[in-house]
């Protein structure tokens, strides 16, 4: 199996979110004094002093619009951090943000949830992701933070 990779929010979608997020609100940028926010545009943590924004994002809805899927009630939106201005995108590891507890949510090609799995530590992340794609019905996996439920990134079938 090909090595899975995290898919960040694409530049075109970021441009839209910086105008109005998926809840219809304008972006409200701020200077991140402490750093450490998980940025979905470049899949790294923010550095102190960077200009970022917390926007509402509907990852499954946007994926479904491209594929023709109908996620029905599984369509949801939630908060994500992004750079307030254009950034160069990911330059780090293929699967970031694996160091703490995560939930892997599996989705079918028609946008229906096929289940989820709690991953308790970094060593269990890659095996759990591989196991998710052992099911031929799984088209993509959403990686989410446990504490806040935030969407971190999407991994598509390799």
pLDDT along the chain (158 residues), means of 10: 85 96 97 96 97 96 90 90 95 87 95 94 94 96 90 92
Look at residues 4, 11, 14, 51 and name the one whose alpha carbon lies nearest to residue 32: 51
Sheet holding 30-31, edge to edge: 30-31, 51-57, 78-83, 38-39, 44-45
pLDDT at 148: 82
* Residue 140, CB-side half-sphere exposure with 13 Å CA sphere: 21
pLDDT at 1: 55
The CA-CA-CA angle for residues 112, 117, 123, to 5°, reads 140
pLDDT at 132: 96
Quick one: tokens of 35?
A: 């750093």
Q: How far apart are CA 71 and CA 26, in angstroms?
A: 25
By the 8 A CB rule, do 46 and 35 touch? Answer: yes
């Amino acid at each position: 199996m090909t090595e899975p990779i995290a898919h960040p929010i694409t530049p075109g979608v970021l441009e839209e979110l910086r105008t109005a997020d998926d809840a219809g609100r304008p972006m409200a940028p701020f200077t991140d004094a402490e750093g450490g926010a998980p940025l979905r545009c470049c899949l790294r943590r923010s550095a102190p002093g960077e200009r970022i924004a917390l926007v509402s994002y509907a990852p499954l809805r946007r994926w479904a619009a491209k594929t023709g899927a109908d996620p029905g009630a599984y369509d949801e939106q939630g908060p994500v951090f992004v750079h307030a201005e254009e950034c160069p995108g990911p330059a780090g590891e293929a699967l970031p943000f694996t160091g703490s507890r995560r939930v892997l949510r599996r989705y079918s090609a028609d946008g229906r949830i096929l289940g989820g799995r709690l991953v308790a530590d970094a060593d269990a992340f890659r095996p759990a992701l591989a196991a998710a794609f052992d099911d031929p019905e799984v088209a993509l996996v959403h990686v989410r933070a446990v504490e806040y439920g935030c969407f971190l990134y999407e991994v598509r079938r390799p």
